[in-house]
Chains A and B, each alone.
Chain A
Amino acid sequence: MKRTLLHALFLLALSAAYTFAKPPQVLSKTTQGNPNLKAIDVISFAPQGVLLIGDGKGAQIVAVRTGDLAPAKSLTKAIPSIDAKLAGVIGAKADGIEILDLAVNPASGKAYFAIRKQDDKSHIILTVDGKGKISEFSLDKVEFASISLAGGKNSISRVTDVAWADTQLIAAGRSADQFASKIFAINTPLAHDAKGNVYSAETYHVQHRRWETKAPMSVLVPYRENDRQYVIGAFSCTPVVKYPLDALKADAKVKGSSVLELGSGNRPLDMFIYEKNGKPYVLTNTFRFHHKRKAFGPSPYWTVKFEQGILAEKEKVNEKALLRLKGDDPATDRVQMVEAFHGVRQMDKLGDDHALVLKEEKNGLTLTALALP
């Protein structure tokens, strides 16, 4: 009896462990074929090698099962002039393409590039493996789910970011004529052509406890704090903000809290969370549009790391938010400029210890893996 009980308990524990380890289901209903994208604005990855594509002109998010699941060797050698090489495989010169976005598939470590061919405006996904081999990830015949962001009178013409947050997919979209931006929350698993599981909210920002304005979000990073899911990111005019994901309800008005000022004249571009020596940090590369007047480094593209704990700040937010600089000097050691990342235009996390970056060099852009600071 005792043995049977032990056996039953063992099976129960095994089943619980299996349940706990069970990966989240990303796609529930898909279709086959070509998603017929109108454009690609941004790309990122959900678990299980599912590529998320933000198509603002098509007012949709398309989730594509890449099947790219085999962990492969990460890029060990830098590839100089990667822009010319990516352009070359589609028969164009470096200035004949625009590299729209870079994302690393965490399931395989392979780099995915969203490219626009400038003359005929075709949008193409190219991949670069650990050996530097460039291939096309063709969208001609894929398994995918398309989630419409259309509906209502607010037309979306650009998706500024898309991110997977376990129980929801979140996306930020912008209109070409209204000063309005929408954050979309889409229940997961994702179902092709599903209606009714897409919620949108508008984001606002309050300055000096007085002025409230609509504030478009440009970067989205899901993050968990005390069992509550948040999104951190950037407003166009006020760098690092956060708001709780459960505030994203249909037609809600979401007010973000600014938690860190990187210094005015900068716009965060990519952002991710990582761990170093057991401590969590956030890394973000930014574009400094006041570079010529007051440079922070040799390039307008500069990178900063800060302690994730800053995000948990409850009191020192908005106008009391932590400042990186006091005058020209660092105001805190919790936020640090990362010199090795100067010139990084685009980046994504590559495994636990590296970032895969597109870095400005003399002869164009170099694709390289940099150790996380």
Chain B
Amino acid sequence: MPRLALLLTAASLAAEQPPPSLEIRPLADDPTQVEVVAQGKKGRLSLVLLDEEGRDGPSILGNVRQRGERMAFIPKYGLGRGLRYRATLLGPNGSRDTAIYSVPNLLGSEPAVVKQVYPSASTLPANNLKFYLHFSKPMREGKAIFDQIQILDMDNGNEPIPHPWRRVELWSHEATRLTLWIHPGRIKQGVNLREDEGPVLHPNHRYVLLVSRKVRNAEGQPLDHSYRKEFVTSNPDRERPLPSKWRISNPGAGTLEPLRIRFPESLDHSLLHRMLTILDDQAKPVAGELLIGPRETSWSFTPKEPWRPSRHVLRVDHELEDLAGNTPARLFDLDLKAGNSANPVLSLGFSPLKNK
């Protein structure tokens, strides 16, 4: 038979074939969003997840809609990548039709990586309180992550420190940043946990913060590669970060030169974004962009409009923390027997220089 005739025969057969009585079809381009469509207006439509042995799970939540001579079941929540589902239509006469649908795995999607860890310094106080882990993608939340990130003691055969973390998940809104707290009970002086277990970090040791590849992104993919941050520890920091010790370099009036501030120690990366404010001579916040310098020991601010040749104030929030959780207002561990400390200076004045 000529090839054209064969094609025509196949096409006419297809045209004659009735549409499938039951099918699961993706909506638009996303294979996790589907509808189950059945011919006819009667019967009971359901969709279930199949386990590895092909056994039915419970009926999936969703809504049934009538569309002319068809019924459609739309699951309320998206299906899972790499999973198999079975739709069933139980007819009023006892008939049973089924259809299988496999959601393809996500192909070509870049796995997540750890982009940056703060504090970025390679020397940290032995009472360092937290790490911020910045990921390149939204991550999978859940307590499993506390077992997938370790601190290894390089001076003790790379032994992992047991249970260093406070197991309370603190993610940014998009789940791209995790705040990992070293258990405060092992930092606070006089607390039973520290007295029984000792601190997590000891001074003058070398450690590795190790983020395992097992950490998964929201889609369930593991990290592209594990992440290591090596650091050494100095003595515990038990001093307040006092703004009176900061150095300010004045910008030129009428310019867009950045205001630069140098700190004698590393400060908290996240809090530096929201706890320093510049006010103009009318006590109004000055708009501009801030930049945090290497090791979080400096901060600069570039105004949107040129500096006016008048007095400005850098206002410091009294809850700005250093790496050990000390603030200008109080130490992380306040010694009640030591008496009250002097109130910190929280406003630093500066006047952009004319003819700089």
- Interface residue count on the B side (C-beta < 8 Å): 71
| Identity of the chain A residue whose Cβ is nearest the Cβ of B163 in the assembled complex | A289
**Closest chain A CB from B241 CB (angstroms):** 13
* Interface of A toward B, CB cutoff 8 Å: 38, 57, 84-85, 88-93, 96, 98, 116-122, 124, 134, 136, 153-155, 157-158, 160, 174, 176-180, 206-213, 216, 218, 236-238, 261, 264-265, 267, 287, 289-290, 292-293, 319
Minimum CB–CB distance for B222 against chain A, Å: 13
Whole-angstrom distance between the alpha carbons of A213 and B333 in the complex? 5
Q: Complex formed: what's the CA distance from A90 to B47 in Å?
A: 10
Taking a contact as CB atoms under 8 Å apart, the answer to whether B141 and A118 are in contact is yes
Given contacts A157-B170, A177-B268, A267-B167, contact A237 B193 (CB under 8 A): yes
11 new A-B contacts, CB < 8 A, other than A92-B77, A210-B336, A264-B196, are A89-B58, A90-B76, A118-B142, A136-B76, A153-B274, A177-B268, A206-B336, A213-B184, A213-B333, A216-B184, A289-B167
6 nearest A-B residue pairs (beta carbon)? A237-B185, A207-B190, A88-B57, A177-B270, A176-B170, A264-B193
Partner of B317, one of A153, A155, A208: A153
In the complex formed, the residue of B with least CB distance to A116 is B141
Please give the distance in Å from A314's CB to the nearest CB on chain B: 20
Residue-wise interface mask of B (168-186) relative to A, using a CB-CB cutoff of 8 A (1 in contact, 0 not)? 1111110101010101110
| Closest A residue, CB atoms, query B172 | A176
Residues of B within 8 A of A116 (CB): 141
Is B99 engaged at the interface, CB distance under 8 Å to the other chain? no
**Is residue B209 contacting chain A, with contact meaning CB distance below 8 A?**
no
Q: Is B274 a contact partner of A84 (Cβ separation < 8 A)?
A: no
Whether A160 lies near B168 (C-beta < 8 A) is: yes
A160 to B169, CA, bound (A): 10
Report whether A90 and B61 are in contact in the complex, using a CB–CB cutoff of 8 Å: yes
Q: Find chain B residues with CB under 8 A from A289 CB.
A: 163, 167
Complex Cα distance A93/B55, Å? 13
Could you say which residues of chain A place their CB within 8 Å of the CB of B292?
Answer: none
**22 chain-A/chain-B pairs, Cβ below 8 angstroms:** A88-B48, A89-B58, A91-B47, A91-B49, A91-B77, A91-B78, A93-B80, A98-B141, A117-B78, A118-B142, A119-B78, A119-B218, A120-B77, A160-B168, A177-B179, A177-B270, A179-B184, A179-B332, A236-B166, A237-B185, A264-B192, A319-B190
Q: Contact check: which of B60, B85, B169, B175 meets A121 at CB < 8 Å? A: B175
B71-118: which residues lie under 8 A (CB-CB) from chain A? 75-81, 83, 85
Q: Could you say which residues of chain B place their CB within 8 Å of the CB of A98? A: 141-143
**B202 CB-CB contact with A under 8 Å:** no
A174: chain B residues at CB < 8 Å are: 168, 170
Indicate whether A261 sits within 8 Å of B188 (C-beta atoms), given known contacts A84-B57, A209-B336. Answer: no
Is the Cβ of A210 less than 8 Å from the Cβ of B193? no
Partner of A88, one of B58, B197, B325: B58
Instruction: Verify B60–A90 contact, CB threshold 8 A.
Output: yes
